[in-house]
Amino acid sequence: MKKTNVKQNFGNYRRDLPWQVSTLVSFFFFLFFFISCDDTKKEEVEKCSGDDCLTITEIGVTGTYANQMMYKDNNLYIVNSGDNSIQKINLNDNSSVNPYISLPVDSNPYYFDIQNDEIYVSNLMTNSISRVKLNDLNNVVNIKIEGEQSFLQPEGITANDDYIFVTNINTTYDENWNAVVQDGFLSIINKNDNTFNKKYTTSQKNSQRVFINNNKAYVINSGTTKFNDSYVSLPTSNASVDVLNLSNSGYSFDKSLTFNYVDGTTKGNINNYCIMNNKLYLASGSAGEIYSINLETDEIINNTNNPIVTEEITELQNAMLNIECANDKIYAIDFNKDKLYIIDTKDENKVIYSSKITSGDELEGPLGITKDETGKNIYIFFGISKRIIKINVSKI
């Protein structure tokens, strides 16, 4: 086992595109910048910062265009958009279950959630969703709603005992890659027979995530964006979180919490989230900032005027941030800087750790992050190199 505190120079490579653009944009991104890395060796390296050390273990590699990862029962599940599949890795020996879980051809599975004994998957390009039984990975049920109630670019997905909840971003791109954004909406599907139940129009556009907490559905709407001449994504409308009391039989949200964009800056766009200590933390993939909501009162704590900051940005650029929460800390990964930030929420949201998490001089792009049941280990996959690593954070 070796220790290293090597500062790596990545030259003038630019990675300004936000990770929540359409999959076709992602394909072009990887076409120009993809660096293959098939490093499957099981190696442990300690990286230290002062008296604190992180133990990093190589797990393996993802499939093609991995988008999201979750941990359950000592297994990692990874949705691979390019392979139309879900990959399962047994962490007892870091082996992948082959073949991968197959989803509809050209479906571009984008996001998923695991609830009880099922995986729920949104299929972005085929306007459908899939249900997969954990105890029988060949048992895949594909659901497509026809007519006026159909899914329109479904992205976020979750479920409770009775319903499946699906966010629809409802966005297309013209020949110049300009977004044509319609109203986002939340679809509610009956679990017992996979039929349409209700539809709610969201307060802001680009509805990307949904989760259930205390019998409420929370829908995260990132708002609209545009690219400037340097291909930096700038918000052009407010973001919001809509709150739906599931005991309410109406067709409108009970409350909407608005995150105000600042014209000409990257502030305001939100996409990824984590929950800890009755607080919702929201990552701004554009600004490298984190906002927060008190889930007991459904009131905003940190907005764009008082954000939790991972790193001061000295030039207009996108951070492409993703986050996970555990044991009073926020773990934030920055795709463009190949960095991991650890934020202590018990110490005025200070950044207590900041370091690159790459294996060499190649660009890697940390993209997905999850944790185990203890919160002492986090798992990260890289969008460019496709590596998957485990980091023991118990010493921080």
Domain definitions of the chain by residue range: 59-356
Task: State the chain's maximal CA–CA distance in angstroms.
Answer: 60
Q: How far is 280 from 261, CA to CA, in rounded Å?
A: 19
Judge whether 145 and 184 are in contact, CB under 8 Å. no
More confident residue, 217 or 18: 217
Q: What is the pLDDT of residue 147?
A: 93
Residues pairing with 390 in the sheet: 57, 379
Q: How far is 303 from 109, CA to CA, in rounded Å?
A: 31
What percentage of the chain has pLDDT greater than the value 90? 64
What is the mean pLDDT of the segment spanning 145-174? 93
Which of 158, 304, 319 lies closest to 238, judged by CA?
304
More confident residue, 170 or 35: 170
What is the mean pLDDT of the segment spanning 186-195? 96
pLDDT tens digits for 4-13? 332 222 222 3
What is the mean pLDDT of the segment spanning 178-192? 90
262 Cβ contact list (under 8 Å, min separation 6): 235, 268, 304
Q: Write the DSSP symbol of residue 204.
A: S
Above 80 in pLDDT, residue 373?
Answer: yes
What percentage of the chain has pLDDT greater than the value 70? 85
Q: What is the pLDDT of residue 31?
A: 34
Q: What is the pLDDT of residue 315?
A: 66
Q: What is the pLDDT of residue 132?
A: 95
Cis amide linkage into residue 99, ω under 30° from 0: yes
Q: How far is 224 from 208, CA to CA, in rounded Å?
A: 12
Which of 384, 394, 396, 382 lies closest to 58, judged by CA?
382
Long-range residue pairs from 243-248, CB within 8 A, at least 24 positions apart, any chain? 243/216, 243/217, 243/218, 243/298, 244/186, 244/200, 244/216, 244/217, 244/218, 244/219, 245/215, 245/216, 246/160, 246/212, 246/215, 246/216, 246/217, 247/215
- Lowest-pLDDT choice from 98-112, 121-135, 342-356: 98-112
What is the mean pLDDT of the segment spanning 236-250? 90
Q: What is the pLDDT of residue 326?
A: 97
Above 80 in pLDDT, residue 186?
Answer: yes
Judge whether 106 and 119 are in contact, CB under 8 Å. no
DSSP SS3 for 67 = strand
* Confidence tier at 171 by pLDDT (50, 70, 90): confident
Q: What is the pLDDT of residue 295?
A: 97
pLDDT tens digits for 20-46? 443 333 433 333 333 333 444 344 444
Q: Cα dist. 368→3, 12, 22, 77 in Å?
A: 25, 24, 17, 11
* Confidence tier at 379 by pLDDT (50, 70, 90): very high
Helices (H), 108-200: none
Report the b/e string of 349-373 with b at 16+ CB within 10 A: bebebbbbbbbeebbbbbbbbbbbe
pLDDT tens digits for 59-109? 999 999 999 999 999 999 999 999 999 999 999 999 988 778 889 888 899
Judge whether 225 and 219 are in contact, CB under 8 Å. no
Q: What is the pLDDT of residue 52?
A: 55
One-letter amino acid of 41: K
Q: How far is 66 from 59, CA to CA, in rounded Å?
A: 15
Q: Which CATH number fits domain 59-356: 3.40.630.40, 1.10.10.10, 2.130.10.10, 3.40.47.10?
A: 2.130.10.10
